[in-house]
Structure 1
Amino acid sequence: SSAPRRLLDQLMHVPDWLDWKRIERGQDVFWRHVTYIAAGLVHFSLAGGYNSPKFMKVLTSTGYLTGNGTKARIYETSQFVTDVMRSIEHLRPGTGVAWKSIVQVRLLHSQVRCRLALLSKAHAKYYSIEYHG
């Protein structure tokens, strides 16, 4: 079978251990406490990430710290979290809005890893897969 077909099969597969009720309870907790969770994500998770030299190297290497990169990243992350936490139906493989967002993020991260691998080969002193990840 072709690589795109194998990827789609993997993306459509729901593991037997997945507990939709537990996910739904997590979504309910998220929305009950969204104000505090959002503040924590913005002020601690995001800010903490910017204090990590390895994380910063990835962001500078991909252009996410140039121009409107930071604003775009915050917006995209907020939209992703909203999509994922909205409802169980949004997570259904193949049709859910959140499922589509998850696939887009996986593909984006894969593209970034490929670009960084090429950068590491061409400029090992600038970016090291072994050190930066």
Structure 2
Amino acid sequence: MVDTVPEWVDWERVGRGQEFFYRYAAPTITGFAFQGLLSLTAQGPSRRPVETLMRAGGHSTKVDKKRLFEAFQLLLQASQSLETIQPRGSGHAAVIRVHFLHATMRQRILKLAGVRPSYFNNETGGIPTNDLDCMQSVCAFSANLIYVTPPARRIYAREQEAADYIALWR
């Protein structure tokens, strides 16, 4: 099931999205680092993933740097080449591992909350690492390169480049 590619995937477009990422990798990775650090202190709805990380022991000064390196590694593996993101490629495997990690953390937190309700409140916090949280991450990966970091340096994506890059993360 994890190797099934949806019909709407356009591999040529995904490949062009990877090329676009590498063309602007330096400012993008810098932007992701700062965006990640800023989001760790966010308030409101964007703080939901941080609450989950705190409950899972994945948000502290000792592990934040490790998390950033892991995120960069995933980013590089997913965008290294078309073969790496296709089924059975190393980037595809890395993305699947992240999905499994999220599912494991979700189950762990829900189990602990079932035993000790004060540990995590699903009513106010929602289901941990849910689809909304995953979409927030994908949107951040997509939007950062197109609308945030390079434009701050007067680098602007053409419409086709933006569409191709979004196809990579979709």
- Other-structure match for 1:118: 111
For structure 1, list consecutive stretches of 5 or more residues without a partner in the other structure: 1-9
2:30 is the alignment partner of 1:39: yes
**Count of aligned pairs:** 123
Q: Please give the root-mean-square deviation of Cα atoms over the aligned residues, in Å.
A: 1.6
**Structure 2 SS opposite 1:12:** coil
Give the aligned residue type for 1:12: D
- Determine which of 67, 70, 75 is the counterpart of 2:64: 70
Preserved contact between residue 84 and residue 90 of structure 1 (Cα < 8 Å) = yes
Is the CA contact (8 Å cut-off) linking 2:36 and 2:68 kept in structure 1? no
How far residue 20 of structure 1 moved from its aligned partner, in angstroms, is 0.6
Seq. identity, %:
26
State the Cα distance separating 1:37 from its structure 2 match.
Answer: 1.1
Moved more, 101-110 or 59-68: 59-68
Q: Which runs of 5+ in 2 are unaligned?
A: 127-170
Q: Distance in 2 between matches of 1:50 and 1:83?
A: 27
CA distance in 1, matches of 2:74, 2:29: 13
Q: Which residue of 2 aligns with 1:106?
A: 99
- Report whether the alignment pairs 1:50 with 2:41: yes
1:38, distance to aligned residue in structure 2 (A): 1.1
Q: 1:17 aligns with which of 8, 24, 35?
A: 8
1:61 CA drift (Å):
0.9
SS at match of 1:11: coil
1:50 counterpart SS class: coil
Amino acid at match of 1:73: R
Larger relative contact order (Cα-Cα within 8 Å, sequence gap ≥ 6):
2
Q: From the superposition, tell whether residues 25 and 82 of structure 1 become closer, same or farther in structure 2 (CA, over 3 Å).
A: same
Cross-structure match for 2:77: 83
Aligned to 1:131: 124
Structure 2 residue identity aligned to 1:15:
P
Distance 1:68 1:34, change over 3 A: same
CA 51–67 in structure 1, closer or farther in 2 if over 3 Å, else same: closer
Task: State the 1:67 CA deviation.
Answer: 6.3
Q: Which residue of 2 aligns with 1:93?
A: 87
Q: 1:46 & 1:28 partners in 2: Cα distance?
A: 26
Show CA shifts across 1:83-110 (max 9, x none).
001110001212x110110111011000
Q: What TM-score do you get using the length of structure 2 for normalisation?
A: 0.66
Cα distance in 1, alignment partners of residues 21 and 61 from structure 2 = 32
Shift of 1:55: 2.5
* Cα deviation, residue 123, structure 1: 2.3
